[in-house]
Amino acid sequence: MPSTEIIFEVTEDDWADLKAMAREAVCYFDADALPKVIRLHLVKHEAISV
């Protein structure tokens, strides 16, 4: 079964670098499996003191 997801873990808040990494990763897909869209999801977990 072909992979349909690539997951990047970004430790710094640099959204532009993440986009560049995602675009570069598409080069490694087979020609018939190239995605039409790359979806990026930002999940941020924070702890705050009260």
Instruction: List pLDDT tens digits, range 24-43.
Output: 888 888 888 888 888 887 77
Question: Residue 15: which of 48, 38, 33, 49 has the closest Cα?
Answer: 38
Residue pair 6/25 in contact by the 8 Å Cβ criterion = yes
Please give the average per-residue pLDDT across 5-25, as a whole number: 77
User: Quick check: 15 pLDDT over 70?
Assistant: yes
Answer whether 0.75 is exceeded by the pTM.
Answer: no
Please give the Cα distance from 28 to 46 (Å, whole number): 34
Q: Is the pLDDT of residue 49 over 90?
A: yes
Domain that holds residue 6: 1-50
The structural domain count of the chain equals 1
**Predicted local confidence at residue 4, as pLDDT:** 67
Predicted local distance difference test score (pLDDT) of residue 13: 67
Average pLDDT, rounded, for the chain: 78
DSSP 3-44: ---------S--HHHHHHHHHHHGGGS-GGG--S--------
